[in-house]
Structure 1
């Protein structure tokens, strides 16, 4: 057993006391397994098999699912990876002894008679006086006379008039029968009350989460619970605070977890929960109420934020109409799409507000909260304003310019939308904070750190070697202290006197968790809170609840690169006027050329207003139409309808030359 740590490195305070209380409240089988695992390590500290708990083991997984269990193992020094919980050889074991002593109840003691009533039903039980309350819950669950109510659905009341046990004994779940000193209980099944509350939309996600923890209830009522959760989200999406959002995410992680198979359905439900910008008529029934946004290209970021910040929530729900100052283009989709694209780009240039991670994603730096609130509103608008752009797709095959103009300005019913993509991705750690889903475990923190690192220059703190190797082997012995430096040069101490406290092998995991949590969570929490409020004011909370951080990242900003598969789809989705069949073929030959691979987003921007490729491009369409003239003219784009107009070029080389010049000059400002 390593004994190199000082007393301040041994956690003997509130965190271990909480672990002891948590453990006492677990079901008997989980409680006994936990104690056995700790005792095995103490009894045979050199046995490697006792220091590795495989996550594939069903009993270990069930134990880790208990409240506070995984955090408790971390406090005791265990480190989680993708396959197991492992206890490093240098871990201090004194806390193990502390926890074992704290969870020992001593000899069983004499039997105590107990009476449990459920309506007209009555059951007599006898339990040793030193039995933990969890054993009483287990006995009730096994009682045929009481209806075999699962322990997680049991509510016990005591006294006259009866009131919940928790009101009189807040720590009842961690107490013994003798400590409670009670002889009679009234039993209720919380599921019966929950069904009525779910049907009336009175339930909270917190109460729903408690029901989902009961495997029997979940398996027997899965469809009803999922439908109820979806209805509850729809009714609460515009009113959620951080706590309820966190609980809602917890519920849907069980009922409707992220994944490719469920993504389309979850996105569809997000739309149902979101106040879409449906055109509204004024009192006279003639004028369409809109939210006009006039932005300056030279200062797009500030000119947009000044108007967004002052807008009311009611204005944010109106159809957005974007115009660029000094340009006559009407917003039939193109300016709107270009605005969101360029707003993201402008964020990357705001060094005092945003900084970019090694992979180019945005993460905030300390700045006034009003800025992030307004940025959140704009990102929220990108989610809910896309419906206005649906009319861009309403053009028939081989449509003429006149028909396109009529389609994008007409009043006919809209079809599929093309998403509005912000031109810069938000970093995954920031998105998780926005979603109230902050990474907690060391493995999770390392995963989020690595998600934002360049493969060519990885951060040593995200490597498995940092956990398994000594600081001497890593060349870091004596180099680290319990502090770290922020991008703006300020030093943050991770504990009092941290800058003077050198990290050792015994404390390196505590340092790693503290430094990653400080960098990936604590430093951006305030910005995330303000950003979340802005998003919810514009679009509600459904997207933040139902999508994973990676899915949300792509829903907001699509893909930065256009792969060969994407280009193939672009070509397949193109409607080409027969008069420009040859020029269109040359156009795609140019894009397929290896030297043009990096220029594909620039061409996409010129022709559609956005350089981001949608992660789900089912609504993407593209048109190639003729324009008068020949080699001497540049091509034109009508971004409202994803249309490229080509002169009658005489060769591929001439088309390539003029296309490159048009993209560089930014002639896509000819918008409608």
Structure 2
């Protein structure tokens, strides 16, 4: 039982390898052969993942997981094989993948359009060999193998329909004598232009390097248009394929394209067509929440609303409070909702890093997804009527909201949740669950407190023996969930982890904890997001970027405070007091500044991209005995004529503690 899990991955690699391009199979064999023939040579035990050929090999189905099952361990830049690794399985893989002597030649008739061509190939040639022969045929147009589609029979049907496992079969096993050859690129161009293509089909085309290189601009523009057309309705499989396509064309996480990707997210985010009431006002989606029951009161209304209602301009009011929503109450609602989630222990739990992770028996996740979707799609001042066309997108609304009354600048501060969503959960929501051991460890570490890291995420765990770590005989193929034992494999609680199965256990336990246990909650949450803002943010952003779009930053660092000061428009009558104000903030620790941000803007989260942030300092009547006031809708702080910095410090602390911004608009 110790090696069952590893054996399964090795056997899967052997099966899948039959469908790999011959040159990739030969590379795998060379890697293994070098180790077998030179077991003491360190250079053959290290595969640099930055090497183009190695990266292409590891990208093939079951290649990486198979190599890891053979003992290769992930580091930052390579896969490395420890000296203690058992080499007997290497010989078994080499034997199973050994090329067979060429068999008898068989004639093949190939039809491409009106063209008929002849080929003679060995009967035991695998399908990958046939694909290579077609790719090299001048008579057939040298169609890259990634674009080849073979049809057989009358009427012609794709080979994949008759033989789902055709890529792992030989010409003889397929009983091929004549077939029709098509170039999927020709069909794809027409489908892309008509916006009827799927991201799954586009992904197949992108695997062809020549096609990608020759048509990159067209492919990127087409993928963006396809996302805009499909953003409102996209299942998990199509979302996963969309992410894979954009990983090639417009990679999530790239800093230089982040703004462009965010702008396209806005272009893909649908808004309801403006509807007028009898009095001529725009029909809004009114959300009236109770402060004491903020989570339940919000979820009950948002979960029962239609998707069309949710896309109307949002108007937030707090029960028994007179403040009108021109931005501030809206920011405050989303900020407080994030913190309220942390108190709903039957729905959410907090990770060691303070992020929100669904509880085991989570409920209300679809409603929470809707709230988070609203945070992305409800632009600042969306509650006020904007003159844009019907069926406008969020991008067009943002473009329209460029100035307020009499040309005054309008604050475009984002709507940020008061607590971040855990990164492993976001990966599952994006249908981008981590798979490799390296990836799983990274997601585990992302949610650990820096002062108490989880031993399972440490690199040392990969290279240090269980005995040296004091874990020998202490681990089984199971994990504890809510006071009960969950087996990672049948009977896992009785299977002790050994040195040989340590990596298999680590992959299994992290996958169970960070992927399998979250999938149901992620599907429900994703549905809520799609109903409000569509799939673009899920497809175009990395999990880290999406986390920041939803919750911004918890700390206001010195460089952020400097920007805050630069963006402040200060009335000359309160220049001295404004200077004291920013000096006080500079003297505060970075984790003490958010409470002042909350008092003055309605949100204690600093935006990850603050270029639209604005701030105002204006005078108010009174002196040392008066507390400052805030107008959160306009990010405005009103200061009395304080006589000293210490008096300002004292009164500001009282105002933040009392939360007087609640009384103002």
In the other structure, the counterpart of 1:291 is 285
Deviation at 1:37, TM superposition (A): 2.3
Deviation at 1:301, TM superposition (A): 1.1
Partner Cα separation in structure 2 for residue 411 and residue 168 of structure 1: 69
1:494 and 2:491 aligned: no
Deviation at 1:415, TM superposition (A): 5.5
Partner Cα separation in structure 2 for residue 441 and residue 481 of structure 1: 21
Deviation at 1:596, TM superposition (A): 4.8
In the other structure, the counterpart of 1:260 is 255
Deviation at 1:105, TM superposition (A): 4.7
The answer to whether the Cα contact below 8 Å between 1:237 and 1:273 also exists between their aligned partners in 2 is: yes
Partner Cα separation in structure 1 for residue 321 and residue 266 of structure 2: 32
1:238 and 2:235 aligned: no
1:611 and 2:604 aligned: yes
1:381 and 2:383 aligned: no
In the other structure, the counterpart of 1:19 is 13
Relative to structure 1, is the Cα distance of residues 468 and 8 closer, same or farther in structure 2, using a 3 angstrom cutoff?
Answer: closer
The answer to whether the Cα contact below 8 Å between 1:278 and 1:387 also exists between their aligned partners in 2 is: no
Relative to structure 1, is the Cα distance of residues 310 and 392 closer, same or farther in structure 2, using a 3 angstrom cutoff?
Answer: closer
Deviation at 1:278, TM superposition (A): 7.0
Relative to structure 1, is the Cα distance of residues 414 and 223 closer, same or farther in structure 2, using a 3 angstrom cutoff?
Answer: farther
1:443 and 2:438 aligned: yes
In the other structure, the counterpart of 2:621 is 628
Relative to structure 1, is the Cα distance of residues 389 and 604 closer, same or farther in structure 2, using a 3 angstrom cutoff?
Answer: farther
Relative to structure 1, is the Cα distance of residues 409 and 325 closer, same or farther in structure 2, using a 3 angstrom cutoff?
Answer: farther
Q: 1:210-359, aligned counterparts within 5 Å?
A: 210-258=204-252, 259-276=254-271, 280-282=275-277, 284=278, 286-359=280-353
Partner Cα separation in structure 2 for residue 412 and residue 568 of structure 1: 26
Partner Cα separation in structure 1 for residue 626 and residue 411 of structure 2: 34
In the other structure, the counterpart of 2:516 is 522
Partner Cα separation in structure 1 for residue 105 and residue 81 of structure 2: 39
Task: Kindly provide the CA deviation profile for residues 280-317 of structure 1, in whole angstroms up to 9, marking residues without a partner as x.
Answer: 323x4713211111111112111111111211111111
Partner Cα separation in structure 2 for residue 183 and residue 589 of structure 1: 83
The answer to whether the Cα contact below 8 Å between 1:115 and 1:123 also exists between their aligned partners in 2 is: yes
In the other structure, the counterpart of 1:548 is 542
Partner Cα separation in structure 2 for residue 387 and residue 325 of structure 1: 21
Q: 1:11-90, aligned counterparts within 5 Å?
A: 11-12=6-7, 15-90=9-84
1:131 and 2:125 aligned: yes
| 5+ residue gaps, structure 1 | 1-5, 394-406
Task: Kindly provide the CA deviation profile for residues 592-627 of structure 1, in whole angstroms up to 9, marking residues without a partner as x.
Answer: 11x454321000000000000000111110000111
The answer to whether the Cα contact below 8 Å between 2:326 and 2:383 also exists between their aligned partners in 1 is: no
In the other structure, the counterpart of 1:143 is 137
1:471 and 2:466 aligned: yes
The answer to whether the Cα contact below 8 Å between 2:416 and 2:550 also exists between their aligned partners in 1 is: yes
In the other structure, the counterpart of 2:636 is 643
| 5+ residue gaps, structure 2 | 387-401
Deviation at 1:388, TM superposition (A): 3.1
Partner Cα separation in structure 2 for residue 25 and residue 115 of structure 1: 22
Relative to structure 1, is the Cα distance of residues 55 and 597 closer, same or farther in structure 2, using a 3 angstrom cutoff?
Answer: closer
In the other structure, the counterpart of 2:593 is 600
From 186, 190, 195, give the equivalent of 1:192: 186
Deviation at 1:540, TM superposition (A): 0.6
> After alignment, is 465-474 or 348-357 more displaced?
348-357
TM-score by length of 1: 0.92
The answer to whether the Cα contact below 8 Å between 1:389 and 1:417 also exists between their aligned partners in 2 is: no
Partner Cα separation in structure 1 for residue 474 and residue 106 of structure 2: 60
Partner Cα separation in structure 2 for residue 617 and residue 506 of structure 1: 50
Partner Cα separation in structure 2 for residue 387 and residue 277 of structure 1: 16
The secondary structure found in structure 1 opposite 2:217 is helix
The secondary structure found in structure 1 opposite 2:486 is strand
In the other structure, the counterpart of 1:403 is none
Partner Cα separation in structure 1 for residue 654 and residue 118 of structure 2: 88
The alignment covers a number of residue pairs equal to 649
Relative to structure 1, is the Cα distance of residues 515 and 605 closer, same or farther in structure 2, using a 3 angstrom cutoff?
Answer: same
From 445, 448, 461, give the equivalent of 2:456: 461
> After alignment, is 185-194 or 350-359 more displaced?
350-359
Relative to structure 1, is the Cα distance of residues 11 and 582 closer, same or farther in structure 2, using a 3 angstrom cutoff?
Answer: closer
The secondary structure found in structure 1 opposite 2:141 is coil
Deviation at 1:86, TM superposition (A): 2.2
In the other structure, the counterpart of 2:397 is none
Partner Cα separation in structure 2 for residue 331 and residue 39 of structure 1: 69
Relative to structure 1, is the Cα distance of residues 285 and 108 closer, same or farther in structure 2, using a 3 angstrom cutoff?
Answer: farther
> After alignment, is 627-636 or 470-479 more displaced?
470-479
Deviation at 1:411, TM superposition (A): 11
Partner Cα separation in structure 2 for residue 596 and residue 279 of structure 1: 45
TM-score by length of 2: 0.93
Deviation at 1:156, TM superposition (A): 1.4
Partner Cα separation in structure 2 for residue 224 and residue 533 of structure 1: 31
The answer to whether the Cα contact below 8 Å between 2:317 and 2:325 also exists between their aligned partners in 1 is: yes
The secondary structure found in structure 2 opposite 1:644 is strand
In the other structure, the counterpart of 2:396 is none
The answer to whether the Cα contact below 8 Å between 1:277 and 1:384 also exists between their aligned partners in 2 is: no
1:109 and 2:98 aligned: no
Task: Kindly provide the CA deviation profile for residues 54-91 of structure 1, in whole angstroms up to 9, marking residues without a partner as x.
Answer: 21332212212223322332333322222112233444
